[in-house]
A = this chain, B = another copy of it.
Amino acid sequence: METVIASIGISPPYYAVIFTSLLKDDDTGLYDQSAAKMVELAQAQPGFLGVDSARDCHGLGITVSYWKDIESINLWRDHTDHQVAKKMGRERFYAAFSIKIAKVEKAKSWKS
C-alpha cells in the first residue's frame, strides 16, 4: 500500500487528537493488531476525518487523528471496543503516553 499523508477533505476549524506513546518492549505483534483494529473502527466513526501515524525505531509513536468536532471525539473516547483497547494499552503495551486535544486553525499541504 502506498504511504500517503491523510487528506482531510474540509477546511479548518476541525479537531486533532495528538496521541504520543512509548511502547514497553519490542513484542509489538499483538499491539500492531490492536492498533490496526482501532484505526479501522475509528474510520467508521461519525465525524472521523483522517489519521496519520508513525512509530520510530525507539518505540516512540505519534498518531494524529482528525475529527469534525469535540462531540465526535467524545463518542469515540466512550466507544466500548476503544475502551477495552485503552485498558489493554495501559496494562500491556505502553510505558507512557500523552493525549492532547487541539483545535486546528490553519492547515496547508505541499506536494512535489
Q: Of B96, B108, B109, which contacts A5 at CB under 8 A?
A: B96
Q: Please judge, given known A-B contacts A5-B98, A99-B107, whether A64 and B61 are in contact too, CB under 8 Å.
A: no
B residues in contact with A109, CB < 8 Å: 96-99
A1-57 contacts to B, CB under 8 A, are 3-6, 12, 16, 18, 20-22, 24, 52-57
Number of A residues with CB within 8 Å of any CB on chain B: 43
B58 touches A56 (CB 8 A): no
Q: Contact string, A76-104, partner B, CB cutoff 8 A, digits 1/0?
A: 00000000000000100011111111111
Q: Of B18, B22, B98, which contacts A3 at CB under 8 A?
A: B22
A residues with CB within 8 A of B: 3-6, 12, 16, 18, 20-22, 24, 52-62, 64, 90, 94-112
Apart from A6-B20, A57-B57, what are 14 other A-B pairs with CB-CB below 8 Å?
A4-B96, A5-B22, A6-B98, A12-B100, A54-B60, A96-B109, A96-B111, A98-B107, A98-B108, A98-B109, A100-B107, A101-B106, A102-B104, A102-B105
